[in-house]
Amino acid sequence: MTGTIKHTHRSKWKCPSNIALVKYWGKRDFQKPMNPSLSFVLCNAFTETSVELHKNGDQKVEFNFEGEAGLFGERIEKYLDHVSGRLSWINKYNFRIHSQNSFPHSAGIASSASSFGALALCLTELDFALSGKEIGCSDFWQKASELARIGSGSACRSVYPGFAIWGKTQLFESCSDDYAVPILGGINQTFYGLRDAILMVDTGTKEVSSSFGHSLMDNHIYQRSRIAQAHENMNELYLALLTGNQEKFVSVVENEALSLHAMMMTSDPSFILLKPNSLELISRIRRFREKSKIPVCFTIDAGPNIHLLYFKENEIDVRAFIERELLDFCENGKWIDDRIGGGPKASPNHSKGGE
Ligand code: DP6
């Protein structure tokens, strides 16, 4: 039977993925971080999602995911259930969700960050519209970040432009474990020229999920020292960002990437996500830095792909280096050319129809 579906409210957002410089690894309670993290949003890697609310539909949720985003669909019904305590109207409507990534699911980019970021922004807009609140005030972004966190921790950092911090730190009173906050001012201009070349070492399915990896921090022998290290790296990195200290930036970012993987290699059970080509790329990046004195560095998420970070002023030299020396170690020569971005955008055709 197909009932007459009446369109009531609609929201559409484009939300970027983000790359962490200080890494979130390990959870407390429900989706709270064991340590603070700091990231910047990307520009070209994003998800565009629209949500339509209907009354009288046959199905609670109808998904339409373009490309390879199908797997993500399985998490959404559970997610809506989780957030229904915060959004009382959820149980009164049927949902039609359409989502599309700008990058392949298998690219090794955190698609859950952009996917949950975009979905959370749509839900927040609908929530504000339904309760007559002003969209775009600071409460709006905080709520979107909190809803995104419930879907995937790293997603809470995707709802802001530029840099964001998630988790309590000594740096700002406003930092919270419940949502991320944007770093609004003071960052040296050089860091707004950050580039991220994502070098695809292996685009196969991950051998160990992030959720399982996080859970291994619960009884990790280095848990306390990892938490202390993350706090220290937050302080050092934030200072480097303020003062424009590229050398410090490089050393903290690489320390964080390798510490994340060291946690994986020393958990019980242990696991290794890096591949021989990941290590080859790391050593080539370091050699290039030493020889050229150009401040490039790498960061790595929970996978084998290498993010090569560099600055706008070195674009010509670094691109030549990538093409000359790195692409042979990428799967089919694949890499994604990305940079720091301006954050999420509401799509103009979001509309409200009558019931
Ligand atoms: C290594 O955010 O994917 O990318 O909260 O279980 O969805 P869940 O985990 P997720 O973990 C990402 C961890 C990381 C580091 C980071 O982004 O901070």
Q: Do 151 and 39 lie in a common domain? A: yes
Closest ligand 1 atom to Cα of 37: 18
Q: Are residues 66 and 170 in the same domain?
A: yes
* 168 vs 37: CA distance, rounded Å: 9
pLDDT band at 63 (very low <50, low <70, confident <90, very high): confident
Query: 175 phi and psi, to 5 degrees?
Result: -70, 145
pLDDT digits (tens, 9 = 90+) for 14-28: 999 999 999 999 999
| Total count of domains within the chain | 2
**Cis (ω within 30 of 0) for the bond into 304?**
no
User: Does the C-beta of 17 come closer than 6 Å to ligand 1?
Assistant: no
- With a cut of 70, say whether residue 124 has pLDDT above it: yes
CA of 24 to the centre of ligand 1 (A): 6
Q: 65 in a domain, yes or no?
A: yes
344 within some domain: no
162 DSSP assignment: S
Same domain, 13 and 131: yes
Please indicate whether residue 152 or residue 75 has the higher confidence score (pLDDT). Answer: 152
Q: Which of 132, 153, 186 finishes a domain? A: 186
- For residues 142 and 281, membership in a common domain is answered with no
Determine which residue's CA is closest to atom 12 belonging to ligand 1: 154
* For ligand 1, mutation pick of 24, 42, 211, 298 (most atoms within 8 Å of CB): 24
The answer as to whether 2 is a domain residue is no
Last residue of a domain, one of 156, 186, 216: 186
For the residues 268-272, what does the mean pLDDT come to?
97
Does residue 115 sit in the same domain as residue 225?
Answer: no
**Based on the domain organization, do 47 and 15 belong to the same domain?**
yes
Are 251 and 215 part of one and the same domain? yes
pTM of this structure: 0.94
**pLDDT value at residue 336:** 94
Q: Are 25 and 80 in a shared domain? A: yes
Structural domain includes residue 353: no
Q: From ligand 1's centre to the CA of 346, what distance in Å?
A: 24
DSSP reduced 3-state for 23: coil
- How far apart are the C-alpha atoms of 105 and 209, rounded to whole Å? 14
CATH of the domain at 222: 3.30.70.890
Segment 125-133 long-range contacts (CB within 8 Å, at least 24 positions apart): 125/11, 125/13, 125/346, 125/350, 126/9, 126/11, 126/51, 126/53, 126/89, 127/87, 127/89, 129/9, 129/11, 129/352, 130/9, 130/89
Q: In sequence order, what are the residues at sequence separation of 6 or more whose Cβ sits closer than 8 angstroms to the Cβ of residue 350?
A: 10, 11, 12, 50, 125
CB 65 within 8 A of CB 102: no
